Structure 1
Amino acid sequence: MKENRKILILVTQGIVGGTSTFLLELTQSLIDAGEDITLAYGSGEYIKERSTELNLKNIHLKWMGRTVNPLKGLMSFLEVRAVLKREKYSVIHLNSSNALIAGIAAKTIIRGPRVVFTVHGLSFLDKNADVSNLLKWAYGLGMRFLLLFVDRIVFVSNENYTRAKQKGIVKNGHVIRNGLKDPTFLSREEARKELSLGNGFIIGSIGRLVSQKNYEFLISQAENFPNAEVIIIGEGKERGKLEKLIKGNVSLLGEIQNASRYLKAFDVFVLPSRYEGFSISLLEALFAGIPVLVSDVGGAQEILSDTNQIFPFNNAEAFNSKCRRIIESEDYRESLGLSNYESSRKFSIEKAAEEYIKVYRT
């Protein structure tokens, strides 16, 4: 007999991004598998809009957000606790460190829900994170405390899981790699027309303009490829800083809804991140069947079959050499694109949903 579960999936921000994309698809896949799912989110409109379009049950949490303000933290705690008491969820699935306050709220309720937490990336704990060692230490200490209120911990890559164990953050956990439903793409010609791009070589990326994505590296290398155009789709707090670095053949196109539809406009997709868990934008590029170049962080080596597309973090010589080879050989580009598309077949949203259902049940 099937266990009757009500599950609340919760994320700090409902903004455009890989985590939101994945959680929307996971929610739909879990519902298709017969689960009763509600998706809760804090600041941002993207999840709200997409949930409405997809007819998914959703809750906007007014006080949930990225903050170190203790008053807002208290209000978020009380808000989540009220939701959990009212709806009687059997599982609450958290998807960001700020959302861990909901785990504490759950444990204050008699016969409260089981708490599952997915670590989508180690952020401040990563060696490449652009923060002080003191802040890394404080963040790690806080994580260890908050994880005391979690029943099951999930990592999206073996690399993140192994490093978390080495740092003493966790002793045990599960690894469930992200997945996607086959995305829909515009053709190369349609995508370039809608983005007002020409017929030249396009080096492209999709991501938030934040320190994590390390776009200053990509912009700094653009001058080495004067016959190519570098475009970045996304928005964020580092726009002003990045604009000051641009010298010529780089364009920041801003936030575009369903940006992955335009991936086939790119001749190569570049992700020079400081740290990642399991990048959704990289996975989308694989589904699009285009070459990629990514820094050697997070789960990159677990995603790509052809590791020649990985370069050491911030290593300009390696990046330029690999990018030049892709530019100069159409046959090589086609070979990489085919290899990447074949790799994408391993990462279905249905497989990820099956693995999460097992975790919810244990």
Structure 2
Amino acid sequence: MSQPSLVNVLQVVRPAAGGIRQHVLQLLEYSDTQRFSLSVAAPSDFLVSLPSDLPITDRYPVEIRARLSPFADLRAAANLAALLRRRSPAIVHAHGLRAAFICALAHRLHSFPLVVTAHNLIDSGVATRVGLAVIGSAADQIIAVSEPIAEGLRAHGIPSQKVTVIPNGVDVERYETPFLDARALLGVPQDAFVVASIARLSPEKGVDVLLEAARLVPELQFIIAGDGPLRAELEEKAPANARLIGRVDNVCVVLSAADAVAVPSRLEGQGIVALEALAARRPVVASRIGGLAAMLTDGETALLVPAEDPAALTAALRRLAADPALRTRLAGAGYELVKHHYDIHVQTAAVERVYEGLAS
């Protein structure tokens, strides 16, 4: 008996870092290659940065800009529509509202089944409202990575039947085994209580709030991994007990060196770093906002504090540092949460069911 033909899915991505990039990489890595053939259309820099061992069928340069640019957007949409006429994928999957907007414009030139994943909370600006109206008319399904994002989509007029919630997940096994000699590798004292943060250094991640908290607890050590537009400014603000180490290829090194992980975001659609920390059995202190508040329970799977409140963040970190039993309890409950509800294999299978529904 002949094998069924593969479902060809084209992933369309804007210039992306952080959660969007990780989500796309996970889909490429964990999707079932016996049923799906995945290609990527994205800016050239993004394509070049993709690991060479991912099972990607084809890579197509489409220069989608990070911000609205009418002439560049029309050119990108026309190029994407031309690509789709040539290659005719069964499904197009756009990641983030910028890529979705380009796909929606291309859809007016050449019709195709369109899935969109919304990764971030929806603001109420005029550009967002107009963009969502265009996206909503073209998209067959919109995946929200958290219920707060889904609520924002519905509030902006996206029909409920088009919206489904599929949270991001992590490969729990990848984080279960501690990275040996992590503290020595990072130059962290073995006897210090270490708070780690892994984030893009941009305003919404609240790293400046974490630095203010660090200033209030000189007895704790802080490691901040990540890069972004605020790096130079944050390095100037960092107190002596906080060190910015830039982007790391293996976050397990940072997590293994940490006693606790802080996620001080101002805005967060879901919060993959929190999942990674819990998969590594590290207690989390996070802002009580957006997808973090929807995913975590204060006092059970994490400690939640008000966003932009260094004093509250400091108090929570001091509480963890003083109470080993609390750290163990939160870490254990957080690990069970991730293992049973946010496993990457379950999340990828859910996305594949969306593909199959459209392909059939």
TM-score of the superposition, structure 1-length normalised? 0.88
Please state how far the C-alpha of 1:288 moved relative to its aligned partner: 0.5
Q: CA deviation at 1:193?
A: 1.7
Superposition pairs of residues 14-93 of structure 1, within 5 angstroms = 14-15=16-17, 17-32=18-33, 34-42=35-43, 44-45=45-46, 48-93=48-93
1:321 aligns with 2:315: yes
Opposite residue 98 of structure 2, the aligned amino acid is N
Deviation at 1:76, TM superposition (A): 1.1
Distance in structure 2 (CA, Å) of the matches to 1:107 and 1:351: 34
| Residue 352 (structure 2) pairs with residue 353 (structure 1) | no
1: CA distance, partners of 2:134 / 2:272: 29
Q: Matches of 1:166 and 1:65 in 2, distance apart? A: 26
Answer yes or no: is the 8 Å Cα contact 1:43–1:65 preserved in 2: no
Q: Which shifted more, 232-241 or 346-355?
A: 346-355
Alpha-carbon contact 2:209-2:309 (below 8 Å) kept: no
> What is the CA RMSD across the aligned residues, in angstroms?
2.3
Measure how far apart 1:170 and its partner are.
5.1
Look up the SS of the partner of 2:35 in the other structure: coil
Tell me how far apart the structure 2 counterparts of residues 302 and 275 of structure 1 sit (CA, whole Å).
13
Q: Which runs of 5+ in 1 are unaligned?
A: 126-135
Q: Secondary structure at the match of 1:31?
A: coil
Q: Partner residue of 2:138?
A: 149
Partner of 2:335: 341
Deviation of the 1:53 alpha carbon:
2.1
Unaligned runs of 5+ in 2: none
1:137 counterpart (126, 132, 150): 126
Moved over 6 A (4+): none
Identity %: 26
Q: Taking structure 1 as reference, are residues 283 and 78 closer, same or farther at Cα in structure 2, changes over 3 Å only?
A: same
Query: Match for 1:176 among 166, 191, 197?
Result: 166
TM-score w.r.t. length of structure 2: 0.89
Quote how far apart the aligned CAs of 1:32 are: 4.0
Which digits, 9 at most, give the CA deviation of each residue in 1:138-171, with x for residues without a partner? 3223322332221111111112212332344554
Distance 1:113 1:138, change over 3 A: closer
- After superposing the two structures, state which structure 1 stretch, 242-251 or 25-34, moved more: 25-34
What is the CA distance between 1:273 and its match in structure 2? 0.9
2:116 alignment counterpart: 117
Kindly indicate whether residue 187 of structure 2 is the aligned counterpart of residue 196 of structure 1: yes
- Aligned residue for 1:174, secondary structure, equals strand
Deviation at 1:286, TM superposition (A): 1.1
What is the one-letter code of the residue matched to 2:115?
V
Q: 1:12 matched to which residue of 2?
A: 14
